[in-house]
Structure 1
Amino acid sequence: MTIDYAHARELMVEQQVRPWDVLDARVLEVLGTLPREDFMPDAQRQLAYADVPLPLGEGEFALKPVIVGRVLQALALDGSEDVLEIGTGNGYLTACLGRLARDVVSVERDAARAASAETALKAQGINNAQVVNADALAWDTPRKFSVVCITGAVDTIPQKFIHWLEPGGRMFVVRGRSPAMEAVLLHNDVNGPRIQSLFETDLPYLAGAAPAPAFEF
């Protein structure tokens, strides 16, 4: 069966993303033109526009299109930002960030996924996004970013992630305990971090950022 991916992309925007109050014209334009199927493993390609998180292997999942839309809208990118993404995954959100921001550095712990994402980004002509193969909780950089985007959940927000934010910068992150997690925008204000609640969701934890197992007696 041949899938009309352009039509599927249009339906994704109109039936999934827009009804979830994603109304930012630049975000909708990127989601409506970037071929999500080209970032998917072959086994998942036909499901590229389904309203479900798609497995990437080893317990990792590609974010649902509606979540990608909400993330991008919350970050309110205007093309001037330097973005740090933690968790490249299949590279689709990385590509969206590359289309909307000035520069993107994306950190991915799985070497095969990092290489695959980099190939997909280059194929789309997105040359302002660099993929770094590293574990973000062990990696460090002296660079500061105006935006940090975390694609996996954390029990609590690691201080080092906040440290990478410029003064006045903003971070998207999902925090808390499954199944009732909270997506927030952290603003790095002059008086300290300020949290803006966005929506409830439930995502797999970023590797190493899950809550410590509780002992039951």
Structure 2
Amino acid sequence: MTDFSALRRMMVDTQIRPSDVTKYPIIEAMLAVPRETFVPDAQTEVAYADQNVPLGAQRVVPEPRTLAKMLDALDVREDELVLDVGCGLGYSTAVVARLAQMVIGVEEDEQLASEAQDLLSESNADNAIVHEGTLAAGAAEHGPYDVILIQGGIEVLPAEILAQLKDGGRIAALFMDGALGEVKIGYKSGDRISWRFEFNAGAPVLPGFAKAPEFAL
């Protein structure tokens, strides 16, 4: 029988800490949340591998290092409201729930959204809810948000998402250019956002976050 608690400690010791993630609340959250619970049943044996875990339909649970480094750069505080776009089965939402005052996960796949809400309830993440709706539309009715993070690649950031970020808020996004990706942290000031590069990563581009195709004559 697989010892998932041992794999969880190994994940933190070999993937998270060596990536310069040292904030104790993040380490504690990733040690506490059972990642194997929040991946498809067929993927539990690779839940703690240093890779994206497939959810189906070109969707993934991003590798642990990507989430941890995003959270380290965002420095989520316990009095903040967070929007977690593309939450899948809820792993990232469960982790963020241990850092923030409240977290809203957004998922457009009806089955994933339903399962995510059940899993979060079962894990006593009482300050987390799943909003079923188009990823690129966010969840404006619960905002505005202090922090937004996006669980997957993007090529463009929809204006509707940016509009839900508070003035002075932060957003983490993985900008993909072909197979290469850069995680950047955006800082909102008025209607403008300034981006800072953090690290390289990769993930499939989420639906609604791809560039419009260019037509050439």
* TM-score, normalised via structure 1 length: 0.93
Write the mapping of 1:134-149 to structure 2, written as runs, cut at 5 A.
134-138=133-137, 141-142=140-141, 143-149=143-149
Partner AA of 1:106 in structure 2: G
Query: 2: distance between equivalents of 1:55 and 1:190?
Result: 37
Query: 1: distance between equivalents of 2:32 and 2:155?
Result: 34
Write the mapping of 1:123-142 to structure 2, written as runs, cut at 5 A.
123-138=122-137, 141-142=140-141
Write the mapping of 1:60-209 to structure 2, written as runs, cut at 5 A.
60-138=59-137, 141-142=140-141, 143-190=143-190, 192-209=192-209
2:3 alignment partner in structure 1: 4
What is the number of equivalent residue pairs in this alignment? Answer: 216
The secondary structure found in structure 1 opposite 2:113 is helix
Query: 2: distance between equivalents of 1:119 and 1:191?
Result: 36
Distance change in 2, residues 1:19/1:134 (3 Å):
same
* TM-score, normalised via structure 2 length: 0.93
Stretches of structure 1 lacking an aligned partner (at least 5 in a row): none
1:36 alignment partner in structure 2: 35
| 8 Å contact kept, 1:178–1:202 | no
Query: 1: distance between equivalents of 2:153 and 2:47?
Result: 22
Distance change in 2, residues 1:170/1:57 (3 Å):
same
Distance change in 2, residues 1:61/1:140 (3 Å):
closer
| 8 Å contact kept, 1:157–1:175 | no
2:13 alignment partner in structure 1: 14
What percent identity do the matched residue pairs reach? Answer: 32
| 8 Å contact kept, 2:82–2:100 | yes
Distance change in 2, residues 1:89/1:78 (3 Å):
same
In the TM superposition, residue 132 of structure 1 has moved relative to its aligned partner by 0.9
The secondary structure found in structure 2 opposite 1:156 is coil
2:52 alignment partner in structure 1: 53
| 8 Å contact kept, 2:52–2:203 | no
In the TM superposition, residue 213 of structure 1 has moved relative to its aligned partner by 3.2
Distance change in 2, residues 1:186/1:5 (3 Å):
same
Query: 1: distance between equivalents of 2:199 and 2:103?
Result: 25
Query: 2: distance between equivalents of 1:193 and 1:125?
Result: 35
Q: State the Cα RMSD in Å.
A: 1.6
Query: 2: distance between equivalents of 1:163 and 1:212?
Result: 20
